[in-house]
A and B are shown apart, each in its own frame.
Chain A
């Protein structure tokens, strides 16, 4: 699915020795790939930004008991970042996300079911050493 990012097309931040520099080309970005590549670390860095950036909402397994669809359907104008998406998102919520034109999504997981996405939505992390710093970007997964 090709649709312009609703909230931001660029996200960058610094967290200690890590630099995060993401370009968003679609409203739904799936961040996938091998285990241990740093996806959840990125989630924790972005979550820290929630404290200062009102346009970011982060959800992960700690929200397992909550009604995720209810949370996102009452949210507007945010980049919603979802880690552990493969256990957090049921089919109904996935369908809602695929049609949501009020928010933008960064979904960390492996299962694209019911999100109606194409390879243009799939990305993996790239980490690059820059002296004592590590720069994290995204590139197309396939």
Chain B
């Protein structure tokens, strides 16, 4: 399950935090994409990964460079391929959040609640506490509580 941070100062010093998911994807993650990415791009963006660096657009079937996938989809792929870094969650739509919350590993940060309607369980981590939360309302409450 993914680990969520709500305060940047809670992120361990040995973990890099990435805010600009577009830039990180275009410069790093894109080099690692495999079959797993194709499924995620199809699920979130409804586009087809047709070769290592090309997608087929959902709108007009035009072939585009892979840098045209959505920021939400890039965030999800960053988390998948770099489970030891922490990525900003803020640009994920609900469809991207649903995929992300189903991952076995990964780390994300947001200072406000971003929860898919249908969630399973996640780890939430602060400097002093680490716990598993399985419930939407409980997670929302954790996010909204100042510590």
Residues of A within 8 A of B (CB): 17-18, 33-41, 61, 64, 84, 86-87, 109-111, 113, 127, 132, 134
Contacts and interface: CB of A to CB of B under 8 A. Distances in A.
B93 interface: yes
B16 to A, nearest CB: 16
A61 B20 contact: yes
Contact of A36 (B22, B23, B62, B95): B95
A127 B20 CA distance: 27
A84 B60 contact: no
A35 B45 contact: yes
Interface residues of B, number: 28
B44 A36 contact: yes
B70 A36 contact: yes
Contacts of A109: 91
B112 A84 contact: no
Interface string B50-85: 000000001110100000111111000000000000
Given A40-B71, A84-B71, A132-B60, A33 B20 contact: no
B88 A35 contact: no
A134 to B, nearest CB: 5
Interface of B: 19-20, 22-23, 44-47, 58-60, 62, 68-73, 88, 90-96, 112, 114
A87 B90 contact: yes
B59 A35 contact: no
A36 B90 contact: no
6 contacts: A17-B60, A18-B60, A36-B72, A41-B68, A64-B20, A113-B112
Interface centre among B47, B60, B88 (most CB of A within 10 A): B60
B112 A111 contact: yes
A110 B91 contact: yes
Interface centre among B69, B93, B112 (most CB of A within 10 A): B93
Contacts of B71: 35, 40, 84
Contacts of A41: 59, 68
Contacts of A110: 90-91, 93, 114
Contact of A35 (B20, B60, B73, B112): B73
Given A84-B22, A84-B91, A87-B90, A36 B45 contact: yes
B67 to A, nearest CB: 10
A84 to B, nearest CB: 7
Nearest to A124: B93
